[in-house]
Structure 1
Amino acid sequence: MRLCINWLPLRPELTRSVARRAEDMGLWGIGIGDSPNYGELYSACADALAVTSSLVVGTSVTNPITRHWSVAAAAGRTFEDAYPGRFRLGIGRGDSAVRTFGLAPAGLSAMERFLATFTENVPTVRTLVAASGARTARIAGRAADGVIAGVGADTVAIRTIGAAADVARAPGRERTEIWASVRLAVGRDDTEIARLRRALVPRAVSASHFAFAATFAGKNVPEHFQSVLTERYAHYDYTAHGVAGKTSNATMFADRPDIEDYLLNRFAVVGSPGDCAQRLSQLSAHVDGIYLSVIFEDALAQLDAIAEMLSAS
C-alpha cells in the first residue's frame, strides 16, 4: 500500500520534520500543496528532498495559471539532477490557488499543453493530473502518468475516473496510475475521534466542493443531496478554503447533519488506528496509492498516530 502524506508548507523547519518523519515511518511519499498563504511550493519540495533519501516528493498539486510551465520544468530538471526519480509533478486546473486571486481555473486544453510541454522538456519526471471528472481524467490518460481522483473514497466514482483515463490512453503508453485522495485523522479514544471529525468538517466541505461543484455526472452522489449541495456551493468562500474553525464553509451544512456525515464519510477517514487501517486497506485494493491530507496544525502528533495505525495494519 503506497501512502503519500499531503502537506501544506507552514514553515520550512516543520516541512523538513514532517518529511523526515514520513520517511522514517516507511511512507512512500509526501505531496506539497500549492495554495495561498503558505510557503513557496518548490522551496518546500527542496526542503523535503534534502532531508530524506528515498521519500518521493511531488506537487499535489500546482496549476498552469500561477505557475508557467518553464518554472515547473526548471524545478523538475533541478530535482531530477539532484535526486533522480524522487520528484513528481502533480497538476490540476487550479482551485483555491487561482480563485483566491480572482483568477479562473485553466482550460482543459491549456492544461494538456502545459503537460505536453513539460514532458517534452523534462521527460524523466513522472506527472499526475488531479481530476474529479471524466473530461479531466482523459487528459491524464493522454498526457500524464497518473491521475489523482478527487472524489474521495467512493470506489464507484474512482473507477469511473480510472476508466476515462484508460479509454483515452494512446497506444503504447503505460497504464495510467490511479491515486485516491482522502483526509485522514487518527484518534485514540471516542472523545478524540469526535473532536477530529469536527475539525475535518471544513476540509471535507472543501474537498466535496472541488469534486461536485461543476457536475455530479459519474460521481455517484445521492440524488436527494444534489439540489442542497448545488445551492450551498454557490456561497462557498475561497478566503476560508480549508481553514479551521467556524467559518461559513465549516458551518455550510450545520443544519443538515446527514449531509455532513455523508461528506465526512466519503472524503475523510477518521477513527481509531485499527479502523483507519482497515478503511485504507479496503480502498487500496482499488488504487495504486492514496494521498492522505492530515490536519496540518497538528501534523507531528498525527504522524505519531498514523505510525500506530500502520503498526495495526
Structure 2
Amino acid sequence: MSVEFWTMGAGSLQTPEQLRSGMQQAPLTGTQQAVRAEEIGYDGIVYVDNQNRWGDCYVTLALAAHATSHIQLGTGVTNSYTRHPIVTAAAIATVQAESGGRVHMGIGRGDSALANLGLAPHAVGPFERYLEQLQAYLRGDEVPFEAGDVETLGLSDRPVASRIAWIGSVKPKVPVDVAATGPRVIAAAARHADRVSLNVGADVSRTRWAMEVARTARDEAGLSPEIPFAAYLPLVVHDDPREATRIGAGNTSLFARFSTMHGKVVGPATAHQQAVFEAIHAAYDMHHHSVPGSAQEAVVTAEFEHEFGIFGPPNYCVERLSQLIELGIDRFILRGSPLDPDDPDSASCERFVQDVVPQLRTL
C-alpha cells in the first residue's frame, strides 16, 4: 500500500495573536508554505478555510499551484455553508485545471469559519445533501433547482437546472475528501465521498471504530465496503518527548475538540479520555482557536496527549504510524511544527520527512 504524508498551511497574513506574541517577522505566505513543503518532501499540503482569520484558501491554492511542480494541494477543510455547492465546485475545479490535476477537495461541516459568523456547524442532513450536489457538479451533471424566483423576470425561456458548462475539460475529476469525526458524518462521508479523512486521533481503537462505521454505512447503501481512509493527526518529531508535546499541545486540543463538539463524546474512550474530552469542551475559547497557551490547551493531560497524538523520537513515531497503516490508513494529514524555517520549532517538519517517512515507505 502506498502511503502519503501531507502537512497543513493557511493563507497569508499575520493574525493579531501572532502580533501580540511578539513575532517580529511575518510567517511564510501560503504560497511559500507550499514551496517549502515541496522542498522538504511532503506529498501534499492542505489549507484551512476561515475567512475571518486567514487569506482565502482557493486563491492561495491557485497561487501555490503555479509556484510548485508536483506537490498535491487541497482544502483542509472548506465547509458546506459559506458557499453554494456550485461555487465551491467551480473554485476547486479551476485550481484543478491550473495545477495540472493535483487538487483534492477537503470538506467538512464547518467550525471556526462558522463560529466567526455566529453559527454552529452545518446540520448533518443538509451537509449530506450538499455533498450529493457537490459531487454532481464536479461530475458535470445537472443539478435541479430546489427553490428560486427567476420566473418573476418574465423570461421567454429560463434554466430549470444548474451545471458547470466547462467542467468536461477538467481532468481528472476532483476527488472529494470528507473530514469526519462523529458516526453520522462518517456515514454520510462513506456514502458520498471519494475518501474519508478521520479526525479521531491516533488511538488504534478509536480509528478502528470509525473505519467500521464507514464500512457498515457503505455496505448498507449497497456500495463496496472499501473506501480510502486518511487521518488528521497532531504529530511532532523530537528526541525529547516532553518538548514534542509542548510544541504540539495546542493542536491536540484543537483536533480533540471535534470528538466532543456538542458536549457528548463520540467514539470509544477510556474514563480518563472521556474526562479530558469533556474538559476541552467546557474550556474551549474560540478566540484562541489554534493559538498557543489557550484555556483548552491547559486541560489536556500528558497521558491524553500521548494517546491522542504522536509526539516523540523518530522510531516512536514510526511505531505509532505503522499501527494505523496496518489498519488501512493510507494518507496522513499532519499538524505539528510550523513550516517556517525561521521558527525554532520548525526542525520537526524536516526530521519527519528525513527520519520517519523513509522507514514507513518500506512497509
- 1:274 deviates by 2.9
1:270 aligns with 2:311: yes
Specify the SS of the correspondent of 2:352: helix
User: Are the structure 2 counterparts of residues 104 and 311 from structure 1 closer, same or farther at C-alpha, using a change threshold of 3 Å?
Assistant: closer
**For 2:86 and 2:205, how far apart are their aligned partners in 1?**
37
- 1:173 deviates by 5.9
Q: Confirm or deny: 8 A CA contact 2:93 2:138 kept in the other structure.
A: yes
1:204 aligns with 2:252: yes
Q: Confirm or deny: 8 A CA contact 1:201 1:260 kept in the other structure.
A: no
**For 1:147 and 1:79, how far apart are their aligned partners in 2?**
21
**For 1:312 and 1:142, how far apart are their aligned partners in 2?**
34
Q: Partner residue of 2:196? A: 147
1:261 aligns with 2:312: no
User: Are the structure 2 counterparts of residues 10 and 165 from structure 1 closer, same or farther at C-alpha, using a change threshold of 3 Å?
Assistant: same
1:304 aligns with 2:345: no
- 1:41 deviates by 0.9
RMSD over equivalenced CA pairs, Å: 2.4
1:46 to 34, 59, 62: 62
Q: Which range moved further: 3-12 or 38-47? A: 3-12
1:122 aligns with 2:122: no
- 1:108 deviates by 0.9
Q: Partner residue of 1:256? A: none
User: Are the structure 2 counterparts of residues 260 and 100 from structure 1 closer, same or farther at C-alpha, using a change threshold of 3 Å?
Assistant: farther
Quick check: which has more Rg, 1 or 2?
2
Q: How does 1:229-308 map to 2 (within 5 A)?
A: 229-231=277-279, 233-244=281-292, 246-251=293-298, 253=299, 260-286=301-327, 287-296=329-338, 298=343, 300-308=346-354
**For 2:357 and 2:118, how far apart are their aligned partners in 1?**
45
1:175-225 deviation digits (Å, cap 9, x = unpaired):
3211111112122x43xx4333123222211211112233334x2211244
Q: Partner residue of 2:5? A: 3
> TM-score, structure 2 length as denominator?
0.76
> TM-score, structure 1 length as denominator?
0.87
1:157 to 206, 213, 228: 206
**For 1:171 and 1:274, how far apart are their aligned partners in 2?**
41
User: Are the structure 2 counterparts of residues 263 and 66 from structure 1 closer, same or farther at C-alpha, using a change threshold of 3 Å?
Assistant: farther
Amino acid at match of 1:32: Y
Specify the SS of the correspondent of 2:233: strand
1:222 aligns with 2:270: yes
- 1:102 deviates by 1.5
**For 2:279 and 2:350, how far apart are their aligned partners in 1?**
39
User: Are the structure 2 counterparts of residues 311 and 30 from structure 1 closer, same or farther at C-alpha, using a change threshold of 3 Å?
Assistant: closer
**For 1:70 and 1:85, how far apart are their aligned partners in 2?**
19
User: Are the structure 2 counterparts of residues 96 and 68 from structure 1 closer, same or farther at C-alpha, using a change threshold of 3 Å?
Assistant: same
User: Are the structure 2 counterparts of residues 311 and 172 from structure 1 closer, same or farther at C-alpha, using a change threshold of 3 Å?
Assistant: closer
1:13-67 deviation digits (Å, cap 9, x = unpaired):
5333332233344422111111341221111211222222222111111111223
User: Are the structure 2 counterparts of residues 267 and 228 from structure 1 closer, same or farther at C-alpha, using a change threshold of 3 Å?
Assistant: closer
Work out the number of aligned pairs and report it. Answer: 302
- 1:288 deviates by 1.8
User: Are the structure 2 counterparts of residues 294 and 134 from structure 1 closer, same or farther at C-alpha, using a change threshold of 3 Å?
Assistant: same
